[in-house]
Amino acid sequence: MSGGKKKGKKLSRKAKRKALKAAAKQARKHPKAAVKVAKVAVNARKTQKQLQKKSGKSGIGAGKVFLIILGVIGLGAVIYAAVQTLRADDELWVADDDDKATS
């Protein structure tokens, strides 16, 4: 194949098809080269998988941390509102008069 290895760049589908067509054309011209092309294709797949593993991010980013903190604050606000709504406040209630109730 032409050129050296380019690290960090991914091939588009169109570029992959073009490379495979060129490899197939070479294989038709030189049957012994077909074996070499197959080996190169297998090595390219292995290399691509290794690059994907290396480029994978581990851990959480700043955006996820921000969203988690925002969620915790929101949950706290909901709990606070529920407690304030459901608490027993004697000043809010009007007591029934016992005299009126028995008459």
pLDDT of residue 46: 77
DSSP summary character for residue 57: -
Encode pLDDT of 26-52 as tens digits: 777 776 666 776 777 777 777 777 776
Kindly state the average pLDDT of the residues 8-29: 73
The structure tokens listed for 78 are 């909901």
Smallest Cα–Cα separation from 35: which of 50, 23, 45, 46? 23
The structure's pTM equals 0.36
